[in-house]
Structure 1
Amino acid sequence: MHLRVILPVIGDGFIEHVRTEVEAWALPTTTVSVVSLARGTASIESEYDEALSAPGILDRIEECAVDGVDGVFITCFGDPGVHAAREIIDAPVVGGFEPAVLTALSLGEKVGIITVLPNVLPMIRGLARRYDVDNRIGTIRVVDIPVLGLDGDDGILLDRLEEQAVSAIEAGEADVIILGCTGMLGVADALKARLAGRGFVVPVVDPTAAAVTWIESSVRMGLTPSRLTYMAPPAKARNL
């Protein structure tokens, strides 16, 4: 199985970090390749960023189709370009939001999402409405750290994640926690342990783990996007 990971930002600085994390979750028999964008933004923290990244993402999706990859993970919690990508490739495609939330909904009644900045809250709320899961999301909170700041001191990130998670749990807003950014790499187990140490036996869903295992399961079951939903775009002139 060949899993292509699209890092929907410009630059190669995160590629090896992402590759290491994805390979840790993937099956030993899965080949992982990671690519970034030739055009786009340094991070996605707004609708503007997401719109600018879409052409670069779709360029990579066309390459995936030519390369015959088995599944695609667009590694961003905002699911940029996911639905457009499903129209042009016969392979499962996910971002960070959908598999993480659907996994979390099987583990508890109320889901709490902890993300990066206030800027992304409207985006996440919009996704929740699109997937018709907003009534199960009890809270969406922020750690107030930009995406490009997540590769710094994990202790600061964990402290803020713990603070927000405990507050949400104690307020009765969440009994499952989702890390609301795929850049929050390698901290899910540590947060789960911290919560357990405070008496809260609560699942913590890592969006990268959820996406990778979701794609592998889809490939093993022979599932691809429905052409009743994701119809091929009509042929026409397009200025690309």
Structure 2
Amino acid sequence: MHLRVILPIIGDTFIEQIRSEVSAWVSPGTEVDVVSLDHGPASIESEYDEALAGPGILQRVEEANADGVDAIFVSCGADPAIQAAREITDLPVVGGFEPAMLTALTLGERIGILQVLPNVLPMLRSLARRYAIGERLGTIRVIDLPVLGLSHGDDLVDRLVEQAASAVCAGEADVLVLGCTGMLGVAAAVQERLAADGLVVPVVDPTAAAVLWLESQVRMRLTASRTTYLTPPAKERIA
């Protein structure tokens, strides 16, 4: 199986980190490659950023079609351009939000999302409405760190644990979802810290949820429905 990861940002800052993280989750024998954008934002933290990233993401999706890959992961918790991508490819394609949230829905009643900045809250609430899971979304908590300021250090875990514990103790969440795919490799640490404090709740890693979801779709030979994601009409388009 060949999995293409699209980083919907410019530059190569996260490429090796993402490649390492995804490779740790996929099955033996699955090939992973990672590409970023030639044009777009340095991170996605607003609707404006998402709109700027869209053309570059769709260009990379078209390239993936031509390269014969088996599945595509757009590594962002805001699911940028995912619906449009499904219109132009028969490959399974997901972002970080949908598979993580659908996984979380099987683990508890109220879902709490841990996110980077207040700017992204309207985007995530809109996605929850689109996926018809708004009634199960208990809370979205922010840790006040920008995407480009995320790290693997104790500060990130401390901030996540603080907000997660507050949400659980307030009765707002039974399951936590890391809302940004840049929160790499910390889900287990957050879950363990919560459990040590007597809060036994699952913490869903969006990257893990996405790539395992894609492997499952490929193995089951599933593709997006053409009665939902219709092929765009032929016409002149200038990207």
TM bucket normalised to smaller: over 0.9
SS of residue paired to 1:87: helix
Give 1:39 deviation, angstroms.
0.7
**AA at the equivalent of 1:226:** S
Number of residue pairs the alignment of both structures matches: 239
1:12: which partner in 2? 12
Long gaps (5+) in structure 1: none
1:155: which partner in 2? 154
Do the aligned residues in 2 keep the contact of 1:9 with 1:44 (CA within 8 Å)? yes
**AA at the equivalent of 1:92:** P
2:108: which partner in 1? 108
SS of residue paired to 2:156: helix
Q: Give me the CA root mean square deviation.
A: 0.6
Query: Following the alignment from structure 1 to structure 2, what is the Cα–Cα distance between the partners of residues 188 and 61?
Result: 28
Do the aligned residues in 2 keep the contact of 1:154 with 1:187 (CA within 8 Å)? no
**AA at the equivalent of 1:70:** D
2:38: which partner in 1? 38
Do the aligned residues in 2 keep the contact of 1:192 with 1:202 (CA within 8 Å)? yes
Do the aligned residues in 2 keep the contact of 1:2 with 1:71 (CA within 8 Å)? yes
TM-score normalized with structure 1 length: 0.99
Long gaps (5+) in structure 2: none
- 1:138-217 paired onto structure 2 within 5 Å: 138-151=138-151, 154-217=153-216
Runs of 4+ in 1 over 4 A off after TM superposition: none
TM-score normalized with structure 2 length: 0.99
Deviations 1:27-48 (A, max 9, x none): 1111001000011010000000
Do the aligned residues in 2 keep the contact of 1:26 with 1:213 (CA within 8 Å)? yes
Do the aligned residues in 2 keep the contact of 1:75 with 1:182 (CA within 8 Å)? yes
2:70: which partner in 1? 70
Give 1:149 deviation, angstroms.
0.2
Query: Following the alignment from structure 1 to structure 2, what is the Cα–Cα distance between the partners of residues 135 and 167?
Result: 20
Query: Following the alignment from structure 1 to structure 2, what is the Cα–Cα distance between the partners of residues 219 and 29?
Result: 14
**AA at the equivalent of 2:118:** P
Do the aligned residues in 2 keep the contact of 1:6 with 1:36 (CA within 8 Å)? yes
Deviations 1:130-162 (A, max 9, x none): 0010100100010000000003x5211111111
| Identity between Structure 1 and Structure 2 (%) | 68
Query: Following the alignment from structure 2 to structure 1, what is the Cα–Cα distance between the partners of residues 29 and 87?
Result: 27
**AA at the equivalent of 2:130:** R
